[in-house]
Chains A and B, each alone.
Chain A
Amino acid sequence: MDNWFLFMQLSVHLWVTGEESLSFSSFLVIREMASKLHSRWYDTCLVKTYKAFVAHSKFFKPTKMKHLKFLQDTIIELYSIDIQKSYQQVLASLQQLAKSLQLAIRTMMKEDLKRVRNWQYINCISLWVKFICCNFKEHDIESLLSLCILVLKGMAYLFPGPRYVPLRFRCMQMLNQLSLSSGVFIPVASLFFDCLEYKGKEIVTDSTHGWAIAVSNLANNTCTSLTYLALIFVRLVPKNLVKSQSFQKECVLSAIELLSAHFLQWSHHISFPELATFPLILLRRFHDKLTDNTLHRQVKRFVDQILDRCWRISACNIVEQNREFIEKKRDGVSFSPNDQVAIDSFIQKYLNGRICASDDKAQ
């Protein structure tokens, strides 16, 4: 008995700390134990792995990213073996997260805020988001979903201001994931509006300090700007960087990326034009302001700005085209908003149609 326990402890340790293959083999051992042994072992397995994961995700290094992802995936697999049992664990963990968030919202003390704004917290929540995404289709875990959404919204609510933009983007990203996998509508556009607002009001200054350069350099290396931003500055953006132009550019780009992900999900929906109304108006205003600024800017800056604008205009246009398309189609329909069945059929019909149309365009 004790030997088994020791064995499990050892393998969990190796799983967390080991190299690629070692960690993998120890995970296989853990899984075997969890699935083949008595159910009591399954519970201890879950607890142990989760604890080890939390302890391990305390500090963040870009090089460890892959390993962290692997750990998350394996945990999800472990937890997915028996949802009936693991449900309690996940719920308890989420409630713990919610509790510390609650405390932070209530007191707004620095220590309490720090308890939310750290890598452990973010890794945990992203772990559960992934878990829900994986299992939502097969299982009835709606209470987990709603709690998770609440925690994410609360996080975004707790940290306003431009210095936390990456953190909020991360939240938006996760909300998008949840929405995509569950089919539930989660409005995220409002989180991105104020990002545009900073831009609009910002007086452009030519800042060429180290951070800005570092950002642009690293952004080129890593995959996308968004994930990069989220990775580096989940905690707090340095003050001088907030005003730097490259950072703001990154912010807008990632905001558009997120927004497009959000729109993509509902682009086939009948309410899409309404969904896009507000962001579109704001984007247009923002765009107008930008052109105003560019006129007064140096030629060198002008080139960069053109790229940006292309991005933005294209984003606007895509949205616009799509809107027009659906509006055109919709005008030909005769049913009313309360006729759910007809709407669903409409959606199905034009979902396929739209894909074809876009394919045609692409060709």
Chain B
Amino acid sequence: MVKKKKIILPPQLPPEVPDDEIEVSDEDLAFVNENREYAGFLTKLDRNLIDRHVTRLTGSKEDELETLYEKRKKKASLKKAKEGDGVEVDRVDALPIKTLDGEICYRAVENSRPDIAPKQNESENVLVDHDKSFSRLTKAERRQKLKKSKKEAKRKAKVDAEDEAVGRGLHLELLAKVQVELSAEELFARKKIRLAEIGTALLENPELNIKSLKELLHICNDVDHKIVKLGLMSLLAVFKDIIPGYRIRLPTAKELEMKVSKEVLQTRFCESTLLNSYKAYLLKLVTLEKDSSFHCVAVRCMCTLLDAVPHFNFRESLVAAIVRNLSSSDDVVRNLGNTVGLFLKYLLYLLMCFSIKKSSCRTIKSLFANEGKHGGEATLEAVQFIAELVKAYDCHLHPDSIEVFLSLIFDEDLGTSEPKKDEKEKSKKKKRKQKLDQSNQLLSENKKRKHDLMEKTREEVRADLKSVTFGPDKCEGRRMQSEILSAVFETYFRVLKQSMEPSVSRSMMNDASSSAGLGNHPLLGPCLTGLGKFSHLIDLDFMGDLMVCLKKLAGHCDSDNDSYSNTLTVSERLQCCIVAFRVMRNNLDALNVDLQDFFVQLYNLLLEYRPFRDRGDVLAEALKIMLCDGKQHDMQRAAAFIKRLATFALNFDSSEAMAALVTLRHLLLKNSKCRSLLENDPGGGSLSGLVAKYQPDASDPHLSGALSSVLWELSLLSKHYNPSISAMASSISSMASMNPLQTQAYLSTLSPIEAFEDSKIEQELFKPVSWRNPVNQKSKRENEFVLMNATEHFRKLENALDEEAIQEKFEEHFTVLRDISENERLRAELNRTSAAIRFYSEYEKQKKAKEKPRKKKQVA
């Protein structure tokens, strides 16, 4: 820890003792005298030097020595004064202790604590997370321990204070800081331990220790942010575990007066305490959630609570808090998309959970009736709150917030088997219900439910025996469902309305939302998908308005107005068309709406379609729903679409082209008269009606005069690189010779959507390619390429160039070689001559040497 950094100091000087006070025993003297050789060093010791080293003053000058000594004296006296009332801590004598972490501690009493503390922290953390697997102590023991630890804490604080005051020479300031930190850390650790203890106790025996909930709550008022967070988390864990599986109803005054057994009293007390502290906790969370530093924790706590105990009291306030939090943190939402994501993820998760619960309740009704009910209620609340949220934000939210609805599961039996009137009545009922006071909902809930039940049962009895067998459960479920539905559709319609509004008032909002990465109509896409999914559940009353809305939306064309902020994408407009047709289909033409406008839209949208920007699957779906599934088209329109689809197929990728061709074939099969398009009949003008000549850029299919045109596209399409498209094209062009009566026998089973999916580029890439060797050459021809001819040419040129260069190179090379050999020869010659000369000179010498003695001899 901190101590590690310090220099290991030499032990302090023993207290000053005058020389004469020291008693030297005789034995010692004798020993020294006996071993003079060994003890001789004693005489050589330089006392001053030792003192200086021991007192750590070696570095300082002689003049400063005195001042230093004075300082130290003062400190020592101070220390003594303090130590008088403190605990004796013997520094010199205490041996260092090596802890488990491998740290060496010099002061046993002080330092053993902080080393243990972190370990306890860890265990405490584990506890908060898993709130189990902690060694359990009895209550008494725990109390004792607590007292002890408190005492120790006090003592330690004192010791720390001392240390601060005393300090240590050069490290004084640093040490002071460290000590402050240390004390804070220890305090922190202590509190954490306390939290952990209470938590374990509560989990172990909630009924006995229910009072300590208050203590936990008290801890949450701490100054330290960390502690507060930990407290919140541990409370969350505790509540998650101890909250019973039922809603607590506080006893009325009458009930309180009645005499009850001890056990009942105990339980009542427990419940009321639990409820009170839960309430306090929620309040705490709500207040804390406004603080930015606790924001995340508080919200997480609330979400987890709602997830874990959706049936418990105060759920309404919990949901409200979560949603309010969403709307209140407006700026935060814009700046930090993450938070929104978090909330929405939670909401989504919640809804998923509930729908699962609901579905499970349907199967095992009697067993989980209660749970199912609560689940349904919670779903309803969540949906309603989302609706409010959308309203508050004027539809500028992340698309996820509405996509959540798609995971709702509506019971098909309940929804569809009942006549529509029933639903209407229910919506009325719902209004009535909403009028009721929300504040005392808790109390009135039962009454209301009873009331509803009564009505429902009466209805059931009147209506059908079958539904009676399912009993009130079903009624409840249906009521819930209709309310959920109405909330969902309210949201959807709001989104639609918002998308239709002129952009004047929204221009500012747009800027903000587009900076946050959302489009102009972020919610429209999922909204349309949802409408398509739940279109069979839409009330007939809304149908007319809905169709008008959709018509307007689909007609939002960027060529109409110059403000681009108002335009929808092609996919969105296609989706509008799809939804309109879905709605019509599901209601079996109960209302008479002219769908002609949608056909015009589709006809023009085919021009706007871009393969990368827009979604091909939506286009394929639109083609299927509007052109393939429809009953009968009038001939002009069918012909116009046939012509346009063929042209479309010429320009787009294979997947879109395939979808278009499948639709085209379908149309041709259904409308036998349109097959005249396949033949270049000079008298075809008789059929063409109003317009004699085909006009490809007409915006209305009726005015395009397509009947007078010929499908020339097919001949080019049969040359298409994709074999399936070319096959399709040729099969279509062969339909001309088909008997006009044999239509139904030949209807294709492939839908445009399937065709689109099949020929998507990903799919195409997966298709295996044959490894077969190519068939031999198509045409025997001289296998000579342009490049080869060029190379010959090139080579000649190069050769011509090269010869000179090579000649030069070779000449150089050989001259060098010749020079070298010449050189070698000359050298050898030189060597030879020089050797000869040497020999000769030696010979001369020897000769002289021989001659001399001879001369001497001669002289002699």
Contact surface of A with B, Cβ cutoff 8 Å: 21, 24-25, 28, 73-74, 76-77, 80, 83-84, 87-88, 91, 95, 98, 101-102, 105-106, 134, 137-141, 143, 145-147, 149-151, 153-154, 157, 160-161, 179, 183-187, 189-191, 193-194, 197, 201, 266, 269-271, 273-275, 277-279, 281-282, 284-285, 330, 333-338, 340, 343
| Interface bits B599-634 vs A (CB < 8 Å: 1, else 0) | 000000001001111000000000000000000000
Q: Which residues of chain B come closer than 8 Å to A76, judged between CB atoms? A: 785, 787
Contact of B716 among A77, A194, A201, A266 (CB under 8 A): A266
Contact of B715 among A184, A282, A284, A340 (CB under 8 A): A340
Contact A278 B607 (CB under 8 A): yes
Closest Cβ–Cβ distance, residue B854 to chain A (whole Å): 72
A143 to B795, CA, bound (A): 36
Q: Which residues of chain B come closer than 8 Å to A330, judged between CB atoms? A: 712
Closest to B643 in A: A274
Interface of A is mostly: helix
| A/B interface sample: 17 pairs, CB < 8 A | A28-B791, A83-B774, A87-B774, A88-B771, A91-B771, A102-B762, A138-B777, A186-B721, A187-B650, A270-B712, A270-B716, A271-B715, A271-B717, A277-B697, A281-B696, A337-B678, A340-B715
Contact A154 B765 (CB under 8 A): yes
Q: Assign chain B's interface to a size class.
A: 35 or more
Q: Which residues of chain B come closer than 8 Å to A139, judged between CB atoms? A: 774, 777-778
Contact B770 A335 (CB under 8 A): no
A143 to B779, CA, bound (A): 18
Q: Given A138-B778, A187-B651, A274 and B787 touching (CB < 8 A)?
A: no
Contact A160 B696 (CB under 8 A): no
Top 10 A-B pairs ranked by shortest CB distance?
A: A160-B612, A271-B716, A185-B719, A338-B733, A140-B775, A184-B721, A271-B712, A277-B696, A190-B652, A189-B651
Contact B778 A73 (CB under 8 A): no
Interface positions, chain B 706-747, Cβ under 8 Å from A, are 710-717, 719-723, 733-734, 736
Q: Which residues of chain B come closer than 8 Å to A146, judged between CB atoms? A: 721-723, 769
A310 to B823, CA, bound (A): 79
Closest to B713 in A: A274
A105 to B765, CA, bound (A): 10
Closest Cβ–Cβ distance, residue A25 to chain B (whole Å): 8
| Interface bits B673-699 vs A (CB < 8 Å: 1, else 0) | 000001110100000000000001100
Contact B761 A277 (CB under 8 A): no
Closest Cβ–Cβ distance, residue A342 to chain B (whole Å): 10
Contact of B720 among A140, A185, A340 (CB under 8 A): A185
| Of listed B651, B766, B775, residue having the most chain A CB within 10 A | B651
Contact of B682 among A88, A102, A150, A334 (CB under 8 A): A334
A271 to B715, CA, bound (A): 7
Contact B721 A336 (CB under 8 A): no
Q: Given A80-B785, A184-B719, A150 and B764 touching (CB < 8 A)?
A: yes
A296 to B766, CA, bound (A): 51
Contact A84 B680 (CB under 8 A): no
Contact A106 B762 (CB under 8 A): yes
Interface status of B646 (Cβ within 8 A of chain A): yes
Q: Which residues of chain B come closer than 8 Å to A91, judged between CB atoms? A: 769, 771
A102 to B798, CA, bound (A): 46
Q: Given A77-B785, A337-B714, A28 and B682 touching (CB < 8 A)?
A: no
A197 to B711, CA, bound (A): 28
Q: Which residues of chain B come closer than 8 Å to A275, judged between CB atoms? A: 650-651, 713, 716
Contact of B647 among A143, A153, A274, A334 (CB under 8 A): A274
Contact of B607 among A154, A281, A335 (CB under 8 A): A281
A90 to B52, CA, bound (A): 88
Closest to A139 in B: B774
Contact A197 B610 (CB under 8 A): yes
Closest Cβ–Cβ distance, residue A85 to chain B (whole Å): 9
